[in-house]
Structure 1
Amino acid sequence: MIVRDAQERDLPAIVALYADDELGSTREQPGEPLAAEYRRAFAAVTDDPRTRLVVAEADGEVVGTLQLSFLPHVVRRGGERAQVEAVRVASSHRGSGLGRELLTWAVEQARERGCVLVQLTTDAARPDAHRFYESLGFTASHVGMKLTL
């Protein structure tokens, strides 16, 4: 597996990964042509020096993705934290260890940057994901809340 920064040509595959589960299938619109909003968002994410959108590639195919953002804070003595979001692995590769490799890569990036912690959110309706993150050492230490606008 190769982890690399996403390129615009990867965007259809990334959106397809987001749509490749019960929750994402109701929110995302994969296929060509992609909605212009995806391309605008991709440009904003990739232009942000504190954010990386990466893909996991196996045998030349995009089979995983995540977004890694670095957030400055005053708390924890001004320590920067890493935020992991939008983790997806193709259904054909789930259970293969690819997700573990991808998250291990993200944690190592945070460690190399000197972050004081890595945080992520996961939908309450994803108990398998909760067990997976816990197996990597993450703890459910906070209650996350969202307000859809």
Structure 2
Amino acid sequence: MGHHSCNQQKVRRGLWSPEEVEKIIHYVTTHGYGCWSEVPEKTGLQRCGKSCRLRWINFLRPDIRRCRFTPDEEKLIINLHALVDNRWAHIASHLLGRTDNEIKNYWNSWIKKKIRKPLSTTIATEAVATTATSSSSTTMSTIPSSLDTNEL
């Protein structure tokens, strides 16, 4: 496996301070991004490179849209999900300014529940009808044929 320096040293976890955010923004806008494991070393951040990369990609990039999903975006996500399933990065490539993580979270929090809600009520109704039909036929089929109906 690769070298993970954050496993070997004390790194800060949890919320990012405004100073840390400022450092990473300044570094990336000045130098660009390349090797994320060098970012903490060169900026003095006590974070691992993966943490810096995720912070930049999911929150700090200037082209990220921070507004609600539009109905058109939601339809596009549903259609693309039907085609490519959970390939969030591929879906995100069709939605400018949206991250794969944001789309995945939106799917799991809202869209999946919205899609399943009408289906679950339909399935539940069909299940009740099927159960009622099968239970009456089951009751009749559980009576042994060797018994005479006069004996009951």
Q: What TM-score does the superposition give when structure 2 sets the normalisation length? A: 0.21
- Higher strand proportion, which one? 1
TM-score normalized by the length of structure 1? 0.22
